[in-house]
Amino acid sequence: MVQSRASDVDAYLAELPDARREALTRIRELCRAELPGFTEVMAYGMPAYEREGVGEIAFASQKQYVSFYLLRTDVRDAFADRLAGHDMGKGCLRFRRTENIDYDLVRDLLRATAAAHGDIC
C-alpha cells in the first residue's frame, strides 16, 4: 500500500496484512504514548502526528518496507550515530522486515521530537 484512502488510522491499520498491522499498531502505540499534545491525523494517505497543525511524525506500510517519517532535521541530526546503520531517506527511516524494526530507537526519536520544537524538512 503506497497511499491509503482510509479516513482514520483504525481503518488504515485494518487494511494491512497481519504482520504489518502488528508492527504499525505497535508504532502507533508508541506515538500515542510519547507524543503528548500531538494530534493523530491521516495525511497523504498515512497516519501522521501533528503539533499545532504541523506534521512532525508519520508512518506507512509501503510496498517493500515500513516507513517511519521523522520530519524534524534537528532530531535526525542529534541521532546521526544511531541512525547511521539504517536505511534512510531524506525524511524517513525504512525497515524492510518488520522483525527488524528497532522500537527502542523509534521510542527515543519520538521522545526527542516531543521534547522541543524544531525545523521540519
In the numeric block, which cell numbers belong to residue 93? 527511516
- Would you say residue 1 lies in a domain? no
The DSSP code for 120 is B
Q: Summarize pLDDT for 23-62 with one digit per residue, the tens.
A: 999 999 999 999 999 999 999 999 999 999 999 999 999 9
In a domain, 4, yes or no: no
- What burial class does residue 30 get, using C-beta atoms within 10 Å of its C-beta: 0-12 exposed, 13-18 middle, 19+ buried? buried
Burial of 86 (C-beta count, 10 Å sphere; 0-12/13-18/19+)? middle
Question: Is residue 97 situated within a structural domain?
Answer: yes
Tens digits of residue pLDDT in 67-118: 999 999 999 999 999 999 999 988 899 999 999 999 999 999 999 999 988 8
Gap between the terminal Cα atoms of the chain: 24
Residue 121: inside a domain: no
Domain count across the chain: 1
pLDDT recorded at residue 2: 58
Whole-angstrom Cα distance, residue 89 to residue 101? 16
Can you tell me the distance from the alpha carbon of 6 to that of 43, in angstroms, rounded to the nearest whole number? Answer: 10
**1: pLDDT strictly greater than 60:** no
Q: What is the CATH number of the domain that holds 40?
A: 3.90.1150.200
2 is a domain residue:
no
In angstroms, the Cα distances linking 63 to 2, 36, 53, 56, 102 are: 6, 30, 28, 23, 19
pTM above 0.85, yes or no: yes
Identify whether 54 is part of a domain.
yes
Which residue range is the domain that position 30 belongs to? 9-115
Residue 3 lies in a domain: no
Q: Is residue 120 part of a domain?
A: no
C-alpha–C-alpha distance, residues 68 and 88, integer Å: 10
